[in-house]
């Protein structure tokens, strides 16, 4: 992990921090408004602080906050958070090939601090798992640095939002800056026709299924994107992309 000297002294650690810093302002704005929204929705400062530190998942925090404030059944809150965070199951399955060489405690820690942007940047930087110890160390150092800065930035900005909720109006719309940052990163990653088509299909599916309860439109979007990618991989389009 990031407190392992072999990781934070490795050049890839700083590389990971530098990459995530490129989208940090948007993440900080998103974290700030998540903290504000939790408190202004009726959660106590103590509960909002605990959710920020323990949950560390902005989309699910925003999804379940109104439910907690309204006194919704606990199983509904859990089901909603589960559906919103299902994408991390896919992330974990993919990252397993990269991380199985490391002790379980390190894998568990990384599972907690790895967020969407860290996963995207890591898999873009390392398209295939390394087969030697030096390459595996570079992967671990990069992911640790990237996740560490992302986690610190989110915690600080979100806690600032929690403790300054009365001074920061929600109508400022700072949370939209986080959305814009994610859109910018997504556009920069859409560097092939396959990716652009799958992104368009997933977006259309999410909008079409928006009325589904428990944020299930996100699950529908993920399933549509995966299905489209599987179909396109067997098409002539995929062959052209590989050449």
Q: Per-residue pLDDT for the chain (243 aa), expressed as one digit of tens each?
A: 656 777 888 999 999 999 999 888 888 888 888 898 888 888 899 999 999 999 998 888 888 888 888 888 888 888 888 877 888 888 898 899 999 989 998 899 999 999 988 998 999 899 899 989 999 999 999 999 999 999 999 999 999 999 988 787 666 665 566 666 667 667 766 777 877 888 899 889 989 999 987 667 877 887 888 788 778 777 665 555 555
Residue ranges of alpha helices (H) inside 4-44 are: 5-8, 11-21, 24-40
Letter string b/e over residues 167-200, b meaning 16 or more CB atoms within 10 A of that residue's CB: ebeeeeebbebbeebbeebeeeeeeeebbebbbe
Give the residue among 121, 128, 127, 111 at the shortest CA–CA distance from 142: 121
Asked if 228 and 198 count as a contact pair (C-beta separation under 8 A), the reply is: yes
SS3 at position 103: coil
Asked if 150 and 118 count as a contact pair (C-beta separation under 8 A), the reply is: yes
Phi and psi (nearest 5°) for 55?
-80, -50
Reported as a single tens digit per residue, the pLDDT across 186-199 is 776 677 787 788 88
CA distances from 145 to 56, 71, 149 (A): 17, 38, 6
Q: What pLDDT is stored for residue 75 in this prediction?
A: 86
CA distances from 195 to 134, 159, 212, 232 (A): 31, 35, 25, 10
SS3 at position 130: coil
Contacts of 238 (CB under 8 A, 6+ apart): 194, 232
Single pTM value for the model: 0.78
CA distance 166 to 157: 15
Contacts of 38 (CB under 8 A, 6+ apart): 47, 48, 51, 52, 61, 65, 161, 162, 165
Q: How many CB atoms are located within 10 Å of the residue 9 CB?
A: 10
Asked if 142 and 126 count as a contact pair (C-beta separation under 8 A), the reply is: yes
Helix (H) or strand (E) holding 158: helix 133-163
> How many residues appear in the chain?
243
In the chain, the N- to C-terminal Cα span, in Å, equals 37
Reported as a single tens digit per residue, the pLDDT across 64-88 is 888 888 888 888 888 888 877 888 8
Q: What pLDDT is stored for residue 170 in this prediction?
A: 61
């Amino acid at each position: 992990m990031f407190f392992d000297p072999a990781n934070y002294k490795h050049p890839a650690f700083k590389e990971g921090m530098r990459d995530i810093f490129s989208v940090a302002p948007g993440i900080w704005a998103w974290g700030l408004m998540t903290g504000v929204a939790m408190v202004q929705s009726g959660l106590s400062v103590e509960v909002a602080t605990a959710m920020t530190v323990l949950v560390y998942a902005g989309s699910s925090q925003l999804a379940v906050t109104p439910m907690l404030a309204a006194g919704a059944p606990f199983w509904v809150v859990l089901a909603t958070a589960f559906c919103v965070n299902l994408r991390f199951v896919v992330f974990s399955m993919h990252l397993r090939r990269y991380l199985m060489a490391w002790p379980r405690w390190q894998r568990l820690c990384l599972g907690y601090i790895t967020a969407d942007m860290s996963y995207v940047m890591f898999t873009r930087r390392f398209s295939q798992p390394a087969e030697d110890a030096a390459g595996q160390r570079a992967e671990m150092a990069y992911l640790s640095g990237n996740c560490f800065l992302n986690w610190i930035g989110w915690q600080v900005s979100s806690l600032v939002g929690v403790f300054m909720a009365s001074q920061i109006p929600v109508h400022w719309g700072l949370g939209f800056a986080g959305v814009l940052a994610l859109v910018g990163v997504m556009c920069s990653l859409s560097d092939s026709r396959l990716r652009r088509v799958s992104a368009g299909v997933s977006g259309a599916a999410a909008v079409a299924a928006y009325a589904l309860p428990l944020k299930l439109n996100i699950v529908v979007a993920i399933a549509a994107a995966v299905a489209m990618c599987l179909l396109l991989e067997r098409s002539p389009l995929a062959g052209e992309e590989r050449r």
